[in-house]
């Protein structure tokens, strides 16, 4: 994946810079999400692995995407096809999303709890995390009974382990040392 990330980085940066310049970040986000899903399709993957000319490859890809791509999005597909880089589209979309989150000062936070969090709990947690991280928060809540109780919060490189299981493991380590 790191090789695809390296290949995808300049395309994602160019697309993001153009999207910001033209005031179409949301539109580009949607286009790239769509083409990334198309590129993940097994039939499309097999076609891309074949030895077709860049024109044939880009024409088919653009036809499959239909009206989901504007003229600039079609140009991106053509350039990537000419360079044999269409397989990197999912990585381009992922890198674009990372730049979009930084631009919008937003962070995606994974929250794992033993039971389902209510809307009020999610709202209170989001508000608290916004103050602590000084960013807009997008919560992704998961349920895992292995945490026993409490919350496991992952926001980028920051991990907050406030689970009963984590506390028990720390207590066990302390008692053993």
Residue 114 tokens read as 């033993």
Angle, helix 54-65 to helix 42-49, in steps of 10 degrees: 170
> Are 38 and 26 within 8 A, CB to CB?
no
pLDDT at position 158, please? Answer: 82
For the chain, give the mean pLDDT.
Answer: 86
The mean pLDDT of 88-111, rounded to a whole number, is 87
Token code pair at residue 96: 């674009």
- Mind listing the pLDDT tens digit for each residue in 17-43? 999 898 888 899 999 999 888 888 888
DSSP state of 142: E
Give the range among 46-50, 106-110, 141-145 with minimum mean pLDDT. 46-50
In this structure, of 7-16, 41-50, 80-89, the range with the lowest mean pLDDT score is 41-50
Task: Render pLDDT for 65-76 as a digit per residue (tens, 0 to 9).
Answer: 888 888 888 888
The C-alpha atoms of residue 17 and residue 12 are separated, in whole angstroms, by: 8
- 150 pairs with which residues across the strands? 163
3-state secondary structure of 51: coil
User: In the chain, what are the domains?
Assistant: 2-102 (1.10.520.20), 106-176 (no CATH)
| Average pLDDT score over residue span 7-12 | 88
Vertex 133: Cα angle to 128 and 139 (nearest 5): 65
Average pLDDT over residues 94-100: 89
Single pTM value for the model: 0.65
Position of tokens 């993957």?
A: 45
pLDDT band for position 155 (cuts 50, 70, 90)? confident
Please state, as a whole number, how many other Cβ atoms lie within 10 Å of the Cβ of residue 150: 17
Q: What is the mean pLDDT of residues 56-83?
A: 86
Q: Is 6 left (phi over 0), alpha (psi -120 to 50) or beta?
A: alpha
What is the token pair recorded at 160?
A: 């907050």
């Amino acid at each position: 994946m790191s090789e695809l990330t390296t290949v995808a980085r300049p395309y994602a940066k160019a697309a993001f810079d153009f999207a910001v310049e033209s005031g179409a970040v949301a539109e580009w986000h949607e286009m790239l999400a769509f083409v990334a899903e198309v590129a993940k399709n097994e039939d499309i993957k097999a076609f891309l692995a074949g030895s077709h000319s860049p024109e044939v490859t880009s024409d088919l890809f653009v036809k499959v995407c239909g009206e989901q791509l504007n003229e600039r999005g079609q140009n991106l597909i053509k350039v990537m096809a000419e360079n044999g880089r269409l397989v990197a589209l999912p990585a381009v979309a992922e890198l674009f999303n990372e730049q979009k989150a930084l631009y919008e000062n937003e962070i995606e936070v994974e929250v794992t709890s033993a039971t389902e969090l209510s809307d009020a709990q999610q709202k209170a947690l989001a508000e608290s995390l916004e103050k602590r991280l000084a960013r807009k928060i997008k919560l992704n809540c998961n349920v895992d009974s292995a945490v026993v109780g409490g919350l496991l919060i992952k926001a980028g490189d920051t991990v907050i382990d406030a689970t009963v299981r984590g506390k028990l493991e720390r207590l066990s380590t302390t008692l053993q040392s």
